[in-house]
């Protein structure tokens, strides 16, 4: 280390914080040094949020968004639904009615989005244009189609301008769609949910506010949590078959997942089954993405589930490269006890939902860009086709039934995860050369100065909704646009 008298790095070192934390503070968050919440002893068993499951075709729940949850084993003033972050796991089946009364007990407007669900965007369904004022409430009625694929989805607020703040503060929850008869679609020994979030808490348990620079980069929290816990332990019998449903609920952080001593068998992306299991050393999840993994613990020992550094670019000449510090441990797999004798095998093929076919009826090109303008006015512009978000403007008009091919071009020096509500898409190709997953997904990373080509069937659900960058700071800064699907 060089001889500067009190470098920020050394000052942090004196406070007992690692270099990774130092990088996070110095560059991403502008909060004063000192006074960070210390996670309670790590190594607690993985706990899952309470499950609220549908009965007789109906799930009727009340979700209260309010401050005061436990995170990392500590009391905080972070936000949750019904007193926890993540909020309760909602479990429905195809054909069910999901009724949610969302009660707003936070001090800013909010609303609800069912991320990844193929449901109506209109009226009181998955409508991102709704505003619930502080003290108010709203009744959502969401009909899950009878042919909706089973899988791992999630819910979070979507009130433009404060989405990143509210997710960073803890307002997330899982939303699982079970198979049609509620049957297990994939026999395993353990089926677990791992909702990954990140946040930064001061010594009093308050959520830190980001600097303008951090918002432009996309804030990454210093604490990476799984189900609100810091580095929990997942205990499993040797030889058992584990299904881990992992949701990247972070505002901006890309997860590059790896499990020490094991290969990961990916069976689903963004909720839905792949055609066949794929073995991987690492699974990359952009914010908003989900994956279901099969893990078969070997031997007996402790293995870290880590997220490796992922370079998602920078603001260009303004500097500030996020997420290039060391790997982050998310959880530990502890294998112990006698080997499982009743072990389902990994199936050779999976019940992937059918991919709608049909000729392409229209092609569009969309450009995600970061402009250097307006520096004196608080930073760069984040645009789609040169414009920032306006909820009253129709940016893309589409006839119901169209099958479109969209090329999403990214002219900026940062990756942007493209996300479209309601209508999932296939990735056909992309500049990074990654093999397309071959199934419908709802978030895809568009590499810095790169592109992806998508095929989107708008075969049902007329109505207006949005697409945006799922680095939610970018979305709040305007990198969002509307789509209007017109019925016949
Ligand atoms: Cu998970 Cu519009 O977002
Ligand atoms: Cu969404
Ligand atoms: Cu972005």
Pull the structure tokens for residue 11.
């000052």
Q: Does ligand 1 have an atom closer than 6 angstroms to the CB of 121?
A: no
Structure-derived torsion over alpha carbons of residues 443, 444, 449, 452, reported in degrees to the nearest 10: -120
pLDDT value for 3: 31
Helix runs in 193-293, H state only: 212-217
pLDDT, average across residues 256-278: 95
Q: Does ligand 1 have an atom closer than 6 angstroms to the CB of 173?
A: no
Of the pLDDT bands very low, low, confident and very high (cuts 50, 70, 90), residue 191 is very high
CATH top-level class of 190-335: mainly beta
Q: Whose CA is nearest to atom 1 of ligand 1?
A: 115
Of the pLDDT bands very low, low, confident and very high (cuts 50, 70, 90), residue 31 is very low
The lowest-confidence range among 37-41, 318-322, 395-399 is 318-322
Q: Does ligand 1 have an atom closer than 6 angstroms to the CB of 148?
A: no
pLDDT value for 324: 53
The yes-or-no verdict on residue 18 having pLDDT over 90 is no
Q: Does ligand 1 have an atom closer than 6 angstroms to the CB of 468?
A: yes
Q: Does ligand 1 have an atom closer than 6 angstroms to the CB of 158?
A: yes
The lowest-confidence range among 130-139, 189-198, 316-325, 349-358 is 316-325
pLDDT value for 24: 36
Q: How far is the CA of 410 from the centre of ligand 3 (A)?
A: 9
Residues 99/63, Cβ–Cβ less than 8 Å: no
Write the CA distances from 355 to 23, 358, 423, 444, integer angstroms. 44, 10, 13, 17
pLDDT, average across residues 274-292: 96
Ligand 1 nearest atom to the CA of residue 154, by list position: 1
* 3-class secondary structure, 290: strand
Neighbours of 50 (CB within 10 A): 13
Asked if the 362-486 domain carries CATH number 2.30.30.90, the reply is no
Q: Does ligand 1 have an atom closer than 6 angstroms to the CB of 290?
A: no
Q: Does ligand 1 have an atom closer than 6 angstroms to the CB of 288?
A: yes
Q: How far is the CA of 116 from the centre of ligand 2 (A)?
A: 6
- The secondary structure element, H or E, covering residue 167 is helix 163-168
Specify the domain boundaries for CATH 2.60.40.420 within the chain.
Answer: 8-26+35-182, 190-335, 362-486
* Interatomic CA distance for residues 350 and 438, integer angstroms: 13
CATH code for residues 8-26+35-182: 2.60.40.420
- Give the pTM: 0.92
Q: Which neighbouring-strand residues pair with 268? A: 273, 292
Of the pLDDT bands very low, low, confident and very high (cuts 50, 70, 90), residue 317 is low
pLDDT value for 304: 97
Ligand 1 nearest atom to the CA of residue 128, by list position: 2
Q: How far is the CA of 464 from the centre of ligand 2 (A)?
A: 13
Ion ligand 2: protein residues whose beta carbon lies under 5 Å: 115, 421
The yes-or-no verdict on residue 353 having pLDDT over 90 is no
Interval 111-134: pLDDT, tens: 999 999 999 999 999 999 999 999
The lowest-confidence range among 185-189, 254-258, 313-317 is 313-317
Interval 205-248: pLDDT, tens: 999 999 998 999 999 999 999 999 999 999 999 999 999 999 99
């Amino acid at each position: 280390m060089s001889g500067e008298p009190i470098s920020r790095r050394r000052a942090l070192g004196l406070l007992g914080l690692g270099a990774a934390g130092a990088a996070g503070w110095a560059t991403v968050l502008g909060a004063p040094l000192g006074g960070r919440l210390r996670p309670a002893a790590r190594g607690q068993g993985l706990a899952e949020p309470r499950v609220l499951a549908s009965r007789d075709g109906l799930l009727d729940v009340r979700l209260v968004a309010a401050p005061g949850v436990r995170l990392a084993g500590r009391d905080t003033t972070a936000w949750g639904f019904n007193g926890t972050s993540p909020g309760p796991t909602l479990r429905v089946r195809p054909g069910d009615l999901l009724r949610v009364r969302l009660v707003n007990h936070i001090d800013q407007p909010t609303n609800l989005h069912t991320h990844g669900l193929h449901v109506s965007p209109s009226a009181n369904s998955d409508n991102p244009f709704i505003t619930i004022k502080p003290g108010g409430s709203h009744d959502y009625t969401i009909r899950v189609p009878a042919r909706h694929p089973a899988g791992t989805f999630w819910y979070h607020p979507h009130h433009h301008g404060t989405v990143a703040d509210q997710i960073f503060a803890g307002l997330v929850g899982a939303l699982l769609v079970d198979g049609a008869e509620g049957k297990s679609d994939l026999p395993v020994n353990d089926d677990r949910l791992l909702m990954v979030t990140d946040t930064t808490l001061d010594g009093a348990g308050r959520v830190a506010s980001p600097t303008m620079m951090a918002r432009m980069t996309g804030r990454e929290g210093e604490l990476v949590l799984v189900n609100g816990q810091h580095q929990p332990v997942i205990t499993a019998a040797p030889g058992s078959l584990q299904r881990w449903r992992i949701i990247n609920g972070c505002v901006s952080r890309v997860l590059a997942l790896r499990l020490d001593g094991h290969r990961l068998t990916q069976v689903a992306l963004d909720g839905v089954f792949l055609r066949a299991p794929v073995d991987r050393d690492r699974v990359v999840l952009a914010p908003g993405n989900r994956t279901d993994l099969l893990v078969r613990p070997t031997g007996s020992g402790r293995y870290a589930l880590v997220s490796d550094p992922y370079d998602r670019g920078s603001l260009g000449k303004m500097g500030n490269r996020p997420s290039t510090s060391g790997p982050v441990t998310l959880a530990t797999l502890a294998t112990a006890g006698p080997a499982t004798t009743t072990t389902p095998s990994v199936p050779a093929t999976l019940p992937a939902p059918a991919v709608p076919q049909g000729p392409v009826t229209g092609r569009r090109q969309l450009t995600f860009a970061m402009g250097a303008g307006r520096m004196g006015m608080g930073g760069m512009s984040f645009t789609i086709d040169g414009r920032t978000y306006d909820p009253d403007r129709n940016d893309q008009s589409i006839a119901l039934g169209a099958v479109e091919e969209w090329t999403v071009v990214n002219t900026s020096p940062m990756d942007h995860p493209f996300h479209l509500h309601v209508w999932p898409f296939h990735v056909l190709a992309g500049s990074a050369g990654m093999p397309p997953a071959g199934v419908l997904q709802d978030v895809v990373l568009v590499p810095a100065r790169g592109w992806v080509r998508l095929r989107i069937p708008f075969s049902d659900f007329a109505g207006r909704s949005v697409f945006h960058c799922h680095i939610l700071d970018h979305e709040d800064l305007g990198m969002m646009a509307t789509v209007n699907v017109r019925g016949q």
